[in-house]
Amino acid sequence: MKVLFIGDIVGNTGRKAVKTLLPELKSKYNPHIIIANAENAAGGRGVTAAIIKEFADLGVHGFTMGNHTWDNRDIFEWIDEEKRVVRPANFPPGTPGRGMTTIKANGKELVIVNLQGRTFLPAIDCPFRTADELLERAGKQSKAILVDFHAEATSEKIAMGWHLDGRASFVVGTHTHVQTNDDTILPNGTGYLTDCGMVGSKEGVLGMERDAVLRKFKTQLPVRFTVCEGKWHFHAVLVDIDDSTGKAVRIEKIRIREDEWIMS
């Protein structure tokens, strides 16, 4: 099974990049299942039902979220019914939505799990204990399991990779918007990448207008961040999963910059 995972899509610039590249990526890599992190897709904060439909129409099968899950309040109107979207599973019991779902496409089946870290982020329930509970259930449904760990600290992400080695097919980090160069297959067969990177403006700071970010750092005064509309860059990762074992067999990072890409 080939799974294409697209990193945090930031605002209109990121959505434009996905629209531009996804047809070519599908043709080149022939992924069976495509997953994207959509928590920044609407103006850099949250996502809307219309954006989910837009991406689904392009061929994205499932969506993960993160700490900006609730930034667009209309999400409360549709998240319970939208089975393609998972929000961090370690939000407290009773939180709308789901933290795990099963995606079926092109004759393949993949369980996706979303977790959120607690280091330098709001203190919610323990992601490690939540992972234990969900992967025990997920393992009874499918051998192929992808975990999006939306976390700030690299140490917490690496720890999660080791914690789930042999139980998940692929553990991929999101949230920090910078693609790391540490892709590996751990000893018990779990693929791992600390951060997939982002899809959005390469001319801003993590997708936001750089002047505002610089003003915040230099003055420490309140500043309103807006999405940068400059040229985009696109980060994703392709993982090959053995259908019979659920183990990762190959990982390929994808990094493409606007006006610098050629697809053959």
Catalytic annotation, residues: 68
Helix ranges (H only) for the chain are 11-29, 49-58, 127-141, 154-164, 210-219
Strand positions, DSSP E, the chain: 2-6, 8-9, 33-37, 62-64, 85-86, 100-105, 108-116, 145-150, 170-174, 184-185, 191-193, 198-201, 232-241, 248-257
Nearest to 251 by CA among 210, 211, 196, 199: 196
Q: Who's near 224: CB < 8 A, 6+ residues apart?
A: 212
Q: What's the rounded Cα separation, in Å, for the pair 54 and 81?
A: 17
Residue with tokens 């979220």: 65
Contact between 152 and 175 (Cβ < 8 Å): yes
What's the CA gap between 89 and 37, in Å, rounded? 15
**Residue 123: other Cβ atoms inside 10 A:** 7
Q: How many CA atoms lie within 13 A of 237 on its CB side?
A: 32
